[in-house]
Amino acid sequence: MVSSGEIERTFEVASAAVLAVLDPGEVLGYEVPADPEERLLKAVYHDTADLGLHAEGVTMRRRTGGPDAGWHVKLPRVGDRREEIQAPLTPGPPDELVALVRAFTRGRPLQPVARLDTRRRAWRALTGTGALVAELVVDAVTASRLGPDGEEQAWVEIEVELGPAAPAGYLDLVEERLAAHGIRRSASPSKVARVLGERRTAASPPVPDGSAAAVVLEYIRAQARALRRWDPLVRLDREDAVHQMRVAARRMRSVLQSFRRVLRRARTRALTDELRWLAGELAPARDTEVMHARLEELLAQVPDELVLGPVRAELAAAFARRAVRARERGLAALDGARYLALLEALDSLPVEPPLAGRALGDAADVLPGEVDRARRRVIGATGAARGLPAGPDLDAALHEARKAAKRLRYASEAARPVLDDPARAGIRAMAALQDQLGVHQDTVVTRATLLELAAGEIGHGFTLGVMYAAETALARRTEAAVASGA
């Protein structure tokens, strides 16, 4: 597979008369060839029978013609940017692309759903050194949805895609020049979306607008969507993708735990268990990345004369091995039936929510009190840790306080639409405590990792001991700060 990011905008063309007077060079602001490059592109789009990809803003097509013939998957657009993954031309969808969109198809078979034929005229704007600034294309499209109700459509549109040499703000400038000719940005997110019609939207929760349940369920639905959309980026090994997918899982788990008087805990416990399982399967990949960076940082602080042997190289080798195993474990989880069942359960929750006693109350009356309960749990957990001597019991108590602080953070995020300013200020005041608790837990994990490395994978234990002592000192300072409330 080959992956690339494209930054582009699409524009509606009302009539051929507009194109007759349009000067691509003027629009792009560069001299372009008088004769455009001509291409004939034929694409067949694939989706599930219920258009599961289309509903998520994902497309899969088999394209012939042009320089990028092959299979293409485009992930949901973020602003003007969209990631595209390409694979060689084969009769059916390649296995690696099918796996990439598994969170959206849930393993259902893919089938042809639309056909698009495009006559493209392309102009490329280059710098004096030959670097690509942008490509402007005029597409004459003939398209139809496959099946008995597939009427043929035809339209003309303009696409402008940025190259690596595009200056800042260039797309906005091009859009202004097109607007001067009456050409406006397209209302449709893609060509095939225009053919397939409106995306399927999730059913509204069967609860009144403004109720506590409505606010909580909307937050969970948004996090479930985020979890699905990070899935292909985890598979592509994108930076921070594992972390963001775990955060989405933790947010949902925390909210289900915190708002037990809105959604019945007895009915959501199995779901939170599965969210914990998923986060746990993804954890080694994230932890390996973070821990390697932390140990590199610690090693950089060790005086040169105390670095005995090739410690940095040995750390790199050890964590490279761990990263491979961690990635295999995470991908195995995403490819399993248990993960698909979790996605289905997340879909079902807002449709058939297990309402508890305060679910239908006004969100502004119910949720601030629930957030305050979470805040008091943080205070109680922190108080329980104060006075304990340094050691495993204190480590465990501070870790419990940290988990309570995270639950407070995510509960307040979910309730943010109905929290007043004093409540938000009180939560912000807890942020410094959460940071301290996070630092302390990091020292616990780091010290355990250093001992593990010294016992087997790293042959220069003296330097690791110096690093261990530095982490222990940081832990003691953090414990003192938490104990004093500083």
pLDDT in tens, 325-338: 999 999 999 999 99
- CB 24, CB 36: distance < 8 Å: yes
For position 42, which CATH number holds? 2.40.320.10
Answer with the one of 196, 231, 264 that is the final residue of a domain.
196
State what percent of residues in the chain have pLDDT above 70: 98
Mean pLDDT of 193-202: 80
Contacts of 384 by beta carbon, 8 Å cutoff, 6+ apart? 397, 400, 401
- Residue 160, token pair as written in the block: 């402008």
Please state the separation of Cα 277 from the chain's center in Å.
Answer: 19
Is 80 exceeded by the pLDDT of residue 460? no
Asked if 185 and 287 sit in the same domain, the reply is no
What local confidence, expressed as pLDDT, does residue 201 receive? 67
Residue 451 falls inside a structural domain = yes
pLDDT tens across 228-273, in order?
A: 999 999 999 998 999 999 999 999 999 999 999 999 999 999 999 9
Asked if 452 and 326 sit in the same domain, the reply is yes
Q: How confident is the model at residue 203 (pLDDT cuts 50, 70, 90)?
A: low
Residue 416 falls inside a structural domain = yes
Reduced to 3 states, what is the DSSP secondary structure of residue 114? strand
Answer with the one of 196, 230, 245 that is the final residue of a domain.
196
Q: By C-alpha distance, which of 175, 198, 135 is closest to 11?
A: 175
Asked if 175 and 232 sit in the same domain, the reply is no
Residue 269 falls inside a structural domain = yes
Residue 221 falls inside a structural domain = yes
Mean pLDDT of 179-197: 90
What local confidence, expressed as pLDDT, does residue 4 receive? 77
Asked if 433 and 286 sit in the same domain, the reply is yes
Between CA 437 and CA 423 the distance in angstroms is 21
pLDDT tens across 211-234, in order?
A: 999 999 999 999 999 999 999 999
For position 218, which CATH number holds? 1.40.20.10
**Residue 449 DSSP symbol:** H
Residue 423 falls inside a structural domain = yes
Asked if 168 and 220 sit in the same domain, the reply is no
Asked if 243 and 389 sit in the same domain, the reply is yes
Q: By C-alpha distance, which of 470, 235, 251, 414 is closest to 339?
A: 235
**Residue 130 DSSP symbol:** S
Residue 201 falls inside a structural domain = no
- Spell out the alpha helix ranges (H) of 51-153: 52-55, 95-100, 102-105
Is 60 exceeded by the pLDDT of residue 104? yes
Q: How confident is the model at residue 202 (pLDDT cuts 50, 70, 90)?
A: low
**Residue 304 DSSP symbol:** G
Name the phi and psi angles at 215, rounded to 5.
Answer: -65, -45
Between CA 77 and CA 58 the distance in angstroms is 9
What local confidence, expressed as pLDDT, does residue 139 receive? 94
Degrees to nearest 5, angle at CA 118 with 113 and 123? 140
CA separation (Å) from 20 to 140, 185, 392?
Answer: 14, 19, 77
Asked if 192 and 217 sit in the same domain, the reply is no
Higher pLDDT among residues 132 and 426, named by residue: 132
Asked if 238 and 160 sit in the same domain, the reply is no
Between CA 89 and CA 229 the distance in angstroms is 25
Q: Which helix (H) or strand (E) holds 44?
A: strand 37-47
Q: What burial letters (b/e) apply to 298-326, b meaning 16+ CB within 10 Å?
A: bbeebeeeebeeebeebbeebbeebbeeb
Q: Mean pLDDT, the chain, as a whole number?
A: 91
Between CA 222 and CA 404 the distance in angstroms is 22
- Residue 52, token pair as written in the block: 């599961």
Q: What is the CA radius of gyration of the chain?
A: 27
- Residue 400, token pair as written in the block: 């419990």
Whole-model pTM: value is: 0.88
Residue 344 falls inside a structural domain = yes
Asked if 25 and 95 sit in the same domain, the reply is yes
What local confidence, expressed as pLDDT, does residue 386 receive? 84
| Structural domain range at position 408 | 212-484
Q: By C-alpha distance, which of 121, 151, 166, 162 is closest to 139?
A: 121
Higher pLDDT among residues 435 and 342, named by residue: 342
Asked if 90 and 236 sit in the same domain, the reply is no
Answer with the one of 167, 196, 225 that is the final residue of a domain.
196
What local confidence, expressed as pLDDT, does residue 205 receive? 67
Residue showing tokens 């040499």: 165
Contacts of 303 by beta carbon, 8 Å cutoff, 6+ apart? none
What local confidence, expressed as pLDDT, does residue 42 receive? 96
- CB 362, CB 369: distance < 8 Å: no
What local confidence, expressed as pLDDT, does residue 204 receive? 65
Asked if 355 and 308 sit in the same domain, the reply is yes
- Spell out the alpha helix ranges (H) of 236-310: 241-258, 265-300
Q: By C-alpha distance, which of 100, 99, 95 is closest to 84?
A: 100
* Number of domains observed in the structure of the chain: 2
Is 80 exceeded by the pLDDT of residue 57? yes
Asked if 173 and 271 sit in the same domain, the reply is no
Identify the weakest region by mean pLDDT among 91-105, 137-151, 201-215, 373-387: 201-215
Reduced to 3 states, what is the DSSP secondary structure of residue 2? strand
pLDDT tens across 280-336, in order?
A: 999 999 999 899 999 999 999 999 999 988 999 999 999 999 999 999 999 999 999
**Which amino acid belongs to residue 460?**
H
Handedness of CA 211, 214, 220, 225 (dihedral sign): negative
Residue 207 falls inside a structural domain = no
Pairing of strands 111-126, 81-87: unpaired
Is 60 exceeded by the pLDDT of residue 486? no
Name the phi and psi angles at 66, rounded to 5.
Answer: 80, 175
- CB 408, CB 378: distance < 8 Å: yes
Is 80 exceeded by the pLDDT of residue 426? no
